[in-house]
Structure 1
Amino acid sequence: MPNAASPRPQGEKPRRILFTGGGSAGHVSVNLALIPLLQSQGWNAMYMGSSDGIEKQLIGRLDDVAYYGISTGKLRRYVDLQNVKDPFRVVKGVYQAYRLIRKLRPDVVFSKGGFVSVPVVLGAWLNRVPVIIHESDLTPGLANRIANPFARKVCVTFGETASVIKGGKAVHIGPVVRSELLRGNALQGLQWSKLLPGKPVLLIMGGSLGAKSINGAVRRNLPRLTQTYQIIHLCGKGELDESCSGVKGYRQYEYVHDELPDLVACAEIVISRAGSNSIFEFLAMRKPMLLVPLSRNASRGDQILNAESFRKAGFCEVLQEEELTDEAFLAALGRLYADREAIRARMREHGGGASAADAIAVLIRENSLR
C-alpha cells in the first residue's frame, strides 16, 4: 500500500478535486473521511450530487466544500412508473455535470458510487478528467459497473472484488474508516444519551433511512431487552415511535452526527444492517455485531455477501430478514452477547493495517491531471 501523500509543496497551485456519491449515507461516508485529509494536503474540494438528497445535507456540514446539485435518476431493479422518466433525468444530469465540470476544471473526480454518481462520472469522462471509483461491497453495485469503463482506477475494500473488476483497474485499498469514530468517548456517550454506567448498552443502527423490520423487532421486545440492556436506537428519518418514549433505559433518535463516535464507544454490542462501510467501522472499533442484511427482495444481495464474509471471520452473528421472528431475534442477540469477548479477541487479531484513506490520497494525486 502506498505511503501517505505529502502536503502540497510551497508555491504550488492548489489542486482541485470533485467528489460525488450519494443516495444513502453509505455512499457518502468514505468521502466524509477523505475530504478533510485532502484539504489538509492542500486540495480544494468540491462536491456534486443530487439537488435534495442526503449527500447535500451531510456535505453541507463541512467547511469550504462547494456543493453543486444536478438532476439524477434512480437505477431501479423493479417496475415503477418513474423508470420511464428517470432516463431523461440522467441525460439531463450528464449535460449539467458536463457543463459544470468544464467550468470548474477539477484535476480529478472521486466517485463513491450510488445512482447520483453516474452523470458526474460521464460528465468527467467527456471533459477528459480522470475518474477514480471506490467500491465498498464484495460485489460492485450497478452504478459502479456502469461507471467502470470510464474510470482509471477502482479502489476495492475486499480483496476478492478485484477479480471481477474489468480492465485491470482494481486496487485493493481495504476499508476506509472515519478517523473521528476512533476518538469516541464512552462516558460522554452515556452522558449525552442520559444513560448510566454499569449496565451494557445495545446500539441499533438501521442506516440513514432506518430499517423497519429491525425497528419493529426491537420495539416489540423492549420489555425483555431492557432487562439486560440500555438501548440507543438510531431508527431513521421519520421512524420515531412516541409510544416507546417513556420506556426506562430506551433512547431513540432519527439520526445523529457529531455524537455518533461517543455513542458507538459506549456500546457493548451493535445491531446493524450489513453495509460495508458500517460493518468495517464497527470492526475497527471492536464492536461485536448482529447483522440483519437487506434481503434480495430489496437489494442486489450485496449486504448478504458482506454479512457472510464477516460471519466466516467470526466477527458477528447473522440473521436474515426472512428469519426475523421475535424468537430468532432474541436467540441471535443472546448468542452474540454471550460470545462478545471471543469476538472482540478475533477482531483484535484482525488488526488495522496502514491507513486506507492515506493510500487513496496517494492514488488520487498520482492519477490527477497534474
Structure 2
Amino acid sequence: MTHNQWQPWPPQDEEFVLPHDLRGPFVREFAPQAAYRHRNSQVASVLYYKNGGHSIITVRGAEHFNKPLMGKPTSVCWIARGQHQVSFQLALPTLGDRAQFRAGADVNWEVRDFYTAAEKRVVDVERMLRPSLEARLRGLSRRYSLDSAQQVDEAIQDELASGRWGDFGAELGLATQVFVRIDLGQAAADHQAQMVAVEKGGVVQEAIDNVTKARIAANMDDAQKLITAGETVQYAHLLASDPGRAAEILGALQQQARDQRQGALDYLTNLINQGVVQRHQIDDQVQALIDYSRTVSTGVFPHGLPQAPTSLPMPPMPLMPPAPPLLPADAPPPVPPAPPADAIPGQGTGVEDDSSPEARR
C-alpha cells in the first residue's frame, strides 16, 4: 500500500508496515466505524472531531486539542513516523544560462508536526520541496560557468552547512537535512562536448566562408564581362538563365526601345521649336515621326513638350530693312528724296560756295 492507493480498512489487530519507497508522510485517511484504538508504532494517528478539535495519538501517548467529552472522531489520518529519504535529480543553470549543471539531491525528512502534515496532505516530499530547493540553488550556480563545476559544488556545500537551511520544510511540518552533489564527471563531459561543438562550428563556418570566396572569385571575370558588354548582353544572359521570363524580359526591351525613340523625337522637336535646327534640314521621314510624336504627346504634355536639358540658345538673327511696296507698271518712276537744305551748296547755310563765278572773281 502506498500513499496514493487507498486500500480497504484492515482489522485493527493486523500489523501495518510502511513501504520502503515511501514518498511522503501522509499514508491514508479513513472514517472509523467504531471506537478507534491506535495500535501501530510506525504511524501517528490524527483524529478529527465534529466540533473542530483534534487529537494526535502515537504509541507514546496522546495529545488532545479541544476534544469533545463524549464525541467520537469523524476522520482519522495516518502520518508516517521515523526518518525517511527521497532522492531526485536537479538541473541547475550555469553562468548566463548557457548550459546546466547536473546534480543529485538527497533529502532526509522526518515529521515534527503531525497535524500540519495531515492538514497539508504531504503525500510527495519531492514534488512539494523541489521548487523551493531549486530556487535557492539557482542563485549559486548562476555565478559559475560550466568549466567551474568544482567551485560551484564547494559553494553549495558551504551554503548547506551555513545554518540557513534549518527551517527548510517546516511549513509542511517536516524537519529536513539536504545533501546536494554536482556531477563533476558529467560537467567535464558537457564542457568538453561544448568546446568540441564550438570548434566544429568554427571549422564549418570557415569552410563556408572559403567556398563563398571561391565562388565569388570564379564568377568575377564573367560578371565583369557581362557589365562591359552592355544592356543587350545582360538581357540575353537573364533570358538564357530564366527562359520562363521571356515575355517579361522582351516586353521590358520593347518598352525601353520605345522610350529611347520617343526621347530622341522629343529632343529634336524641342531643337526645332527653339530654332536651333531648321525644318529644311530634316528629311521627310523624320518630320513625319515628329508630327506623330506631337499628336501623341498632346494629351500628355498640354503645355507643350518639355525643354531638353541640353538645348542650345537661339542664335541672333540679323535685322533686314523692309521691302519697298510694289508700284503699277504705268506709274512714273519714283523721285528720289531731296537732300537736306544744309547739303545744297550756297543755300541756307550762310556760307558762299567758292565754286560760283562771284566767288571766283
Relative to the length of structure 2, the TM-score reads 0.19
Task: Report which of the two structures shows the higher radius of gyration computed on alpha carbons.
Answer: 2
Structure with bigger RCO (C-alpha 8 Å, 6+ apart)? 1
Relative to the length of structure 1, the TM-score reads 0.18
